């Protein structure tokens, strides 16, 4: 199994190598779609890595916000299909992260309302949800590029682990 630094180098190199692949595969050469896909790929590789369920380099990158990943680390077994699965692993981490952000925003809204007496604390969150969902509906190609980037970022990590384990068994 490669080290965290090896995974980081692999993520960076494969992201850089994706430009020629994108130019060949993409039906429309929209730079925004490519940048969103590569950004999601890098985010998946560096911050939403398959190793968030261990005391890894990517887990330490979260700094003060490591606490957000405590339930994930507690309930997701390392190297299971939930953490290292090719599609379900990255999508589970994205869904988990989105839920953690949403719950944190709700808690922040409650605190702001209690101490600052904001009249429509949940209206702000409702507006944010409607804005995000409207943007997703209006820009499906960007969303698809981001989802593909998130999945491929996790897949690269899983493939590196599988190849590393294979070579250890062979040698």
Mean pLDDT, rounded, for 83-95: 86
Q: Kindly report which listed range (8-17, 19-28, 59-68, 135-144) carries the lowest average pLDDT score.
A: 19-28
**Domains in the chain: boundaries:** 9-30+42-139+154-170
Residue 76's alpha-carbon distances to 20, 96, 162, in angstroms, are 36, 11, 19
pLDDT at residue 22, rounded to an integer: 81
Closest CA to 84 of 1, 168, 167, 170: 1
- SS3 state at 76: coil
Number of Cβ atoms within 10 Å of the Cβ of 4: 17
- SS3 state at 117: coil
- SS3 state at 103: helix
The predicted-structure confidence for 34-55, as pLDDT tens digits, reads as follows 899 999 999 999 999 888 888 8
């Amino acid at each position: 199994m490669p080290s965290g630094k090896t995974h980081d180098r692999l993520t960076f190199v494969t992201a850089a190598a994706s430009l020629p692949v994108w130019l060949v595969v993409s039906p429309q050469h929209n730079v925004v779609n490519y940048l969103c896909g590569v950004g999601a790929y890098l985010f998946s590789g560096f911050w939403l890595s398959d190793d968030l369920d261990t005391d890894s380099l990517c887990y330490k990158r979260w700094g003060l916000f490591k606490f957000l990943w405590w339930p994930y680390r507690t309930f997701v077994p390392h190297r299971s299909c939930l953490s290292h699965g090719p599609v379900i692993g990255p999508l589970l981490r994205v869904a988990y992260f989105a839920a953690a952000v949403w719950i944190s925003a709700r808690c922040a809204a409650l605190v702001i309302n209690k101490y600052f007496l904001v009249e429509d604390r949940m209206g702000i969150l409702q507006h944010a949800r409607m804005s995000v969902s409207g943007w997703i509906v209006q820009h499906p190609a960007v969303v698809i590029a981001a989802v593909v980037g998130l999945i491929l970022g996790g897949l690269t990590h899983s493939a590196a682990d599988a190849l590393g384990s294979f070579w250890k068994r062979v040698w």
